[in-house]
């Protein structure tokens, strides 16, 4: 069930272009076939909402929600590394994990986009993907809280994602700390490739190809 929920959430967190709306009926059917629970209810509600919008309407809402407010970023290394140089190192490590599993990004995709990580977990290497999701769980919780705070319908998608992860008081505490501190800033004079807050030096294993 978690694989279907994560794949559906990955699709629903992509930009709502024409192809998005062509896939939406398939997503609704797949979600309806999952076990009853919080994740299915959340995604069912979001799909019904999206189905009532045009691509221009939902696209404008997507941009207002994610692209103009960095507190609501879908790129997970922003929460751990901000706009510092070490974010590039973190992105490179995620790409290495994908590559070692035979997973290749589409042109223009950043590896830390939540939708990309969810799709990798659902269709690539489940174990490695889950480790990434758990490593980024504080950022996911921070994004989830921010979406609820602004009353965004996209909060339902994050609720579904959270329902596939182990409950973590530590992740929520770290999310609270991150919210208070804000994203990291550049530490002038320090090693630009210093280790970020997320433990991305995890071993990798060969997995399924995309």
Which residue matches tokens 């290495």? 96
What pLDDT is recorded for position 201?
A: 43
Closest CA to 38 of 131, 149, 162: 162
Residue 152, C-beta contacts closer than 8 angstroms, at least 6 positions apart: 65, 72
Structure tokens given for 60: 């404008």
Closest CA to 1 of 36, 29, 27: 36
Query: Which residues partner with 75 through β-bridges?
Result: 113
Q: Please answer whether residues 38 and 61 qualify as being in contact, where contact means their C-beta atoms are separated by less than 8 angstroms.
A: no
Q: Please answer whether residues 117 and 7 qualify as being in contact, where contact means their C-beta atoms are separated by less than 8 angstroms.
A: no
What's the chain's length in residues?
210
Q: What is the dihedral of CA 69, 175, 80, 91, to 10 degrees?
A: -80
What pLDDT is recorded for position 137?
A: 92
DSSP states along 72-88: G-SBTHHHHHTTSTHHH
What pLDDT is recorded for position 41?
A: 97
Residue by residue, pLDDT tens for the chain (210 residues) are: 899 999 999 999 999 999 999 999 999 999 999 999 999 999 999 999 999 999 999 999 999 999 766 679 999 998 888 776 778 899 999 999 999 999 999 888 899 999 999 999 999 999 999 999 999 999 999 999 999 999 999 999 999 999 999 876 676 676 567 666 666 655 433 333 334 444 444 433 333 444
């Amino acid at each position: 069930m978690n694989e279907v929920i994560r794949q559906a959430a990955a699709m629903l967190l992509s930009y709502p272009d024409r192809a998005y709306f062509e896939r939406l009926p398939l997503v609704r059917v797949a979600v309806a076939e999952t076990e009853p629970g919080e994740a299915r209810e959340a995604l069912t509600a979001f799909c019904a909402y999206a189905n009532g919008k045009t691509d221009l309407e939902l696209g404008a809402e997507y941009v207002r929600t994610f692209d103009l407010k960095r507190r609501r970023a879908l790129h997970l290394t922003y929460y751990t590394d901000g706009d510092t140089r070490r974010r590039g190192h973190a992105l490179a490590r995620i790409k290495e994990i994908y590559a070692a599993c035979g997973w290749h990004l589409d042109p223009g995709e950043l590896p830390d986009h939540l939708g990309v990580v969810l799709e990798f977990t659902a269709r690539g290497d489940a174990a490695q993907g889950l480790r990434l999701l758990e490593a980024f769980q504080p950022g996911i919780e921070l994004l989830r809280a921010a979406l609820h705070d602004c009353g965004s319908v996209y909060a339902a998608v994050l609720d579904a994602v959270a329902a596939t992860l182990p409950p973590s008081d530590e992740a929520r505490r770290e999310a609270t700390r991150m919210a208070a501190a804000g994203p990291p800033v550049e530490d002038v004079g320090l090693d630009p490739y210093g280790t970020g807050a997320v433990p991305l030096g995890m071993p990798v294993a060969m997995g399924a190809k995309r």
